[in-house]
Homo-oligomer: A and B are copies of this chain.
């Protein structure tokens, strides 16, 4: 008879494995990371890991999911309540709570880029990529629309395309940051310029 493991205990173990996997993906990237690395980092047996995740792909999706859940828990309403304006809420979506340009980049960015670019012909990964893209565009477009409605913004271009341009800009800096690092990318200055671009293209009233 297998011992009874409470649901709560299971969730704790799962969260612990996700935490260990996150560290391992950051350290090794997606392609070079193995399930063995996670077993060592989390000090669990092969069985203890595979009981929760079938393979590396499963594990990585759980890692991304756990990051996203934190972000999406913030509804637009909550963001506006904490930030005061749509402009500040928008800045928060890509600069974090301080809303100031910095040299920081999501440490999982290199793994995510590998995962999606090498997996572009894999049905499951493609579906996942599409969902992520759509939800980012949807949130950003909604912030711009709502900001326009309350008179904060007077956009100079189609709102959804402005949202896509923000994603492109950020993905492009993530790419050169992953390969060449923060200095050559000039991440902080590019973020400053991105903000100035947005003030212009959204016609932000200050």
Contacts and interface: CB of A to CB of B under 8 A. Distances in A.
B193 A157 contact: yes
A32 B117 CA distance: 12
A96 interface: no
Contacts of A126: 179-180
Interface residues of A, number: 46
B190 A161 contact: yes
A120 B175 CA distance: 10
A129 interface: yes
A193 B114 contact: no
Interface of A: 29, 31-32, 110, 113-114, 116-118, 120-121, 126, 129-130, 133, 156-158, 160-162, 164-165, 167-173, 175-176, 178-180, 184-186, 189-190, 193-194, 196-197, 200-201
Closest 9 CB pairs of A and B: A168-B172, A172-B172, A171-B172, A161-B189, A120-B179, A168-B173, A113-B117, A129-B179, A171-B175
